[in-house]
Amino acid sequence: MPDATLTKAIDDIMRDFVSPQGPGVAVLIGRGDRVLVRKAYGLADVEQKQSLVPENRFIIGSVTKQFVGMCVMMLKHGGLLDYDDPVSRFLPGFPEWSDRVTVRQLLQHTSGIPEYLTQEFWEEVNARDEDIDRGTLLNRMRSYEQLDFEPGSNWRYSNSNYILLDAIIEKASGRTFAQFVKEKVFQPLEMEDTFAGETRARPAGMAIGYEFNTKDKTFKEAPYNRAVVGWADGNIISTVDDMVKWVQAQSSDKLLPLAKLSQAFVPWNPVNPYVTRYGFGLIMGERRGIREIHHSGSTLGYNALLSRFPDEQLCVILLSNAAGIGLDRILGAIAGLMLGDKMQPLVPAVLPEEHYSEKLGRFRTQPWDRRLEIEVEWPQGNSPGLKAVMLANDQPLAEFDLLPLSRDLFLADRQTDSYVEFIRDYDGRVCGCLLKSVGRVSRLNKIALEKNR
């Protein structure tokens, strides 16, 4: 039975994020085998003024990837593949890199295969009269002669990895990903309202997806086609009720022996603090000292976030038909409400001026990544800390204040538990920084000299 007092507190949080006249969010919070909160906010169909309900279906986007990880683990358990098998074993006709890229590297985004899901891709598919198919995508990947980096040497999120895994699952099992995941996962867990989408057809109970403009807080109905549904990189359609069954199965032996299942939760490079802690479709992180296993997902019109705090036996499931509504901030507010008294305190540090001035300048991601930059500046007036302006491909993305917690660690956003940690060269000079948020890490190198105040 949902907790009425907690539900009222969640109502207060959601009021800041969801308009009763716009698309919204379905929320489920569970602890162990109990459902504490189960409620939906906003509209499933804005034009028809149809309220969103917990039973509505949503595309969960890249939250799908952890289901792909489970399917691959099942195939490994059944002796049909090995994690270190090369791509070429299953998919002939690819460039020579297919002999070096392994199934494990696809799962963990360490293959170096370029991202197919670019802005140019979306413009192309939305301009087409007919749907694109997986074969077209595989042919596109066959044209990639060069990798972004040597397989296994680095990490970069790329949906191309999971398009290849879609085809590998089919080759190894003799069934499509949709068939395999239905038979091996959805049916055993009685996830009756969940399936992997294979067409542009809207299923019964599907909330209509909307694009959210963060500048003027307006919505418009998003395109809906085969590419929006996606493939095994993000094509599962589900409900909050079915997703909590999936969360509970991740800490049980319903699908695999726990020793086999544990492979999903091993980060690709567990001892390196400078890289994202990514396993098999999951990110392993900490939120101010509390372990958190999570993944988000988005496509045109839909947004999803699944987060689990295993030591607290707590999960938060957020499914939205408003892309860009900010589920990470909603999660942060919910986590603060429920776990704030157990989180490590944030104690501001007092630094001399030279410890601020050494960090001024511009920082940029590695050449093979999308060009993300941060301009670190003095704040206006006498505000403590520093100011950071984030840019993506030269376009302003966000501004935030940097509050010092130590000489090199600064809090960027309390609600999303985001930090900027400055790093130094052998001479002790600031040469870069890390953007860190619950196990996700981006490294930026310093490219500009300090500015005078």
Q: Rounded to two decimals, what is the model's pTM? A: 0.93
pLDDT in tens, 53-78: 999 999 999 999 999 999 999 999 99
Identify whether 357 is a catalytic site residue: no
């067409």: which residue's tokens? 199
CA 50 to chain centre: 29
Rounded mean pLDDT of 324-338?
Answer: 93
Please enumerate in sequence order all residues whose Cβ is within 8 A of that of 45, keeping only pairs 6 or more positions apart, or say none: 207, 208
Q: What is the pLDDT of residue 94?
A: 93
- Give the sign of the dihedral formed by CA 423, CA 425, CA 427, CA 429: negative
Rounded mean pLDDT of 211-232?
Answer: 83
DSSP string, 369-400: S--EEEEEEPPSTT-SSEEEEEEETTEEEEEE
pLDDT band with cut points at 50, 70 and 90 for residue 3: confident
Give domain limits for the chain. Answer: 59-341, 353-446
For residues 320 and 302, is the Cβ–Cβ distance under 8 A? Answer: yes
Backbone angles phi, psi at 449, to 5 degrees: -75, 160
Is 3.40.50.720 the CATH classification of the domain at 353-446? Answer: no
C-alpha distances (whole Å) from 85 to each of 105, 177, 222, 231 are 10, 19, 39, 22
Q: What is the pLDDT of residue 453?
A: 42
For residues 301 and 221, is the Cβ–Cβ distance under 8 A? Answer: yes
The single residue of 62, 98, 320, 418 carrying the catalytic annotation is 62
Return the percentage of the chain with pLDDT > 70, whole number. Answer: 96
What's the CATH number of domain 59-341, 3.30.1360.170, 3.40.1260.10, 3.40.710.10, 1.10.8.590? 3.40.710.10
With a cut of 90, say whether residue 452 has pLDDT above it.
no
With a cut of 90, say whether residue 125 has pLDDT above it.
no
With a cut of 80, say whether residue 312 has pLDDT above it.
yes
With a cut of 80, say whether residue 235 has pLDDT above it.
yes
Rounded mean pLDDT of 130-159?
Answer: 91
HSE-up (13 A, CA, CB side) for residue 179: 9
Helix axes 327-339, 4-15, angle to 10 degrees: 140
